[in-house]
Amino acid sequence: MSLLDMNILETRREPCERIVAKLNFALVQQRLAELSDDDWADYMELRDAYRASGSEDEKREILDTMVEILLDEPATGIAIEDMEREARSDLKGAAAAERFDLEAQSFGRNLRRLRAKKGLSQSRLADLANMTQPQISYLERGEHRPQEVTVNKLAEALGVPAEELLPVV
């Protein structure tokens, strides 16, 4: 009997939830192995930031960014994901999905402009906003649509009203 056959037999004796957790873990391990060196470094920095994080909102933002790295696509909070899924499923979905992308890009441009205007590096802004540099980078590239708590933290760190960061599309 092969090792694979033995693993299948063992799996049949386990609760379904545990089997699903093992499968998910295996998929994450596979995706981590496929990451570029830069994405790997970003992921590991975010993992450390998550472990050091205190608030649930902060943890959620960090997890969203980690998921984006693993999936190579935005993961911007469940409500927005649901809206995007619905928007993409109907005939007007392409236009709505494009709007979400444009809003993320517009926010990124605003963030980059205001950060540069204040003479701050991504790392310094991350420190001031209690975030990580990879999170700032993903936001500035328009690869992540921030939650309200993140917009407020960045606005406070930049010393501007949150409205200055909000997308104009």
- 8 lies in a domain? no
Q: Is the pLDDT of residue 10 over 60?
A: no
Question: Which pLDDT score, from 0 to 100, does residue 14 have?
Answer: 62
| Domain of residue 80, CATH code | 1.10.260.40
Convert the pLDDT of each residue in 112-162 to its tens digit: 999 999 999 999 999 999 999 999 998 999 887 788 889 999 999 999 999
In this prediction, residue 86 has a pLDDT band, given cuts at 50, 70 and 90, of low
In Å, what is the CA distance from 78 to each residue of 4, 61, 104, 144, 161?
Answer: 36, 12, 16, 13, 26
- 6 lies in a domain? no
Question: Which pLDDT score, from 0 to 100, does residue 33 have?
Answer: 82
- 47 lies in a domain? yes
- 104 lies in a domain? yes
Question: Which pLDDT score, from 0 to 100, does residue 139 have?
Answer: 92
Q: Are 155 and 164 in contact (CB under 8 A)?
A: yes
- 24 lies in a domain? no
Short-list 76, 73, 43, CA closest to 60: 76
125 vs 92, which has greater pLDDT? 125
- 149 lies in a domain? yes
Q: Are 100 and 80 in contact (CB under 8 A)?
A: yes
- 30 lies in a domain? no
- 94 lies in a domain? yes
In the chain, the number of structural domains is 1
Residues spanned by the domain of 111 = 35-164
d(CA 70, CA 125): 24
**What's this model's pTM, rounded to 2 decimal places?**
0.54
Question: Which pLDDT score, from 0 to 100, does residue 116 have?
Answer: 95
For 120-162, the DSSP string reads: --HHHHHHHTT--HHHHHHHHTT-----HHHHHHHHHHHTS-G
**What's the 3-state SS for 19-74?**
HHHHHHHHHHHHHHHHCCHHHHHHHHHHHHHHHHCCCHHHHHHHHHHHHHHHHCCC
